[in-house]
Structure 1
């Protein structure tokens, strides 16, 4: 798994502002990484740039 520094992650704008159901995203040259704020120790999922763009487009469409 790629090592990504904690400082690269930011709270997703789609996370609940007051709840514990937060997701963090890191924008990378190869795509994006996503992790659960409550379980950072479990690592992250990596998505290629095209996969991530398709996912974000779908979320915005269903928004």
Structure 2
């Protein structure tokens, strides 16, 4: 049986929207889905990218959290 590891931010709208399609892909391949949620906020903070500094915490949480 194939395994698909699913790395995602648990609060991501994109993860929510793509979840159903991913389940369809797993079913079509007979693959087992392994969830690997992670907190994206430390990744963003460690990048210290200057253009993120202008974003409000709410904006960052909504789009990247």
- Bigger fraction of residues in strand: 1
Q: Point out which structure has higher relative CO (alpha carbons under 8 A, 6+ apart).
A: 2
- State if a TM-score over 0.5 links the two structures: no
TM-score by length of 2: 0.22
TM-score by length of 1: 0.22
- Bigger fraction of residues in helix: 2
Q: Which entry has the higher C-alpha Rg, 1 or 2? A: 2
